[in-house]
Amino acid sequence: VRRKSAGRGVVWAPMAVEMELVSVEAPERPTRTPVVILRETAGQRRVLPIFIGTPEAQAIALSMQNIETPRPMTHDLMKNLLDEIGAQVERTTITALRDGTFFAEIVLSAAGEVRTVSSRPSDAIALAIRIGSPIFAEEEVLDEAGRVEQPDEEQAEQMVEEFREFIDHVNPEDFAL
C-alpha cells in the first residue's frame, strides 16, 4: 500500500504492478472480440486479458508493428496534442474491474502539475504504446482478473531440456561455499 497526500489527511491507495504489453489477439468465433494481453514484468508474471474494441486493437497493433499511417489516427492525435502543450504521460494504470468492465487512468504532468484523467484501458494502452510510458495494473485488479500463465507443451519441453543440460554439466564444486 502506498500513501499519497490528499489535502489535510493521508489516503491509502492500493499498489500498482508494472505490466508489459504482450499481444493483441482476435480470438476464434463466436465473438471475435479482440483482447489485449498484459503481463507482469516481475513477480508471478500473471497475465491480464482485457477485451477491447476492434478500432483500438488495430491502433495498438499498428503501433506495436511500428507502422505509420498517412494521416494521424486518434491516438497519434492525442500524442501530438500532448506534445504540443508540453505534457508528458507519466503512467497508465488499469485501476478497477467493476461488473465486467475495466477502468483506467492516465497520469499526466505539465507545467509542474500532475493530473489524472479517466480513460478506457484500450485508449490508455494505445497512447502509452505510442509514447513509451509505463503501464501498470492495480494489485486488486490482478488478484481478480489476472491469470498465472501455464507453459505450453513446447515451453515445458524447452524447460525440461534446459534442466537436463544443466544436470549434465553441473559439478559438485559449483555448489561449494
Neighbour-count burial of 66, counting CB atoms closer than 10 A to its CB (0-12 exposed, 13-18 middle, 19+ buried): exposed
Ranges in the chain, pLDDT < 50: 1-12, 175
Give pLDDT, residue 149.
77
- pLDDT the model gives residue 25: 85
What is the CA angle 81-64-115, rounded to 5?
Answer: 35
Residues 6+ apart with CB under 8 A from 159: 151
Please give the pLDDT value at position 119.
97
pTM to 2 decimals?
0.76
Give me the count of residues in the chain. 177
What pLDDT is attached to residue 7? 47
The Cβ of residue 102 has, within 10 Å, a number of other Cβ atoms equal to 21
Look at residue 6 in the predicted model and tell me its pLDDT: 44
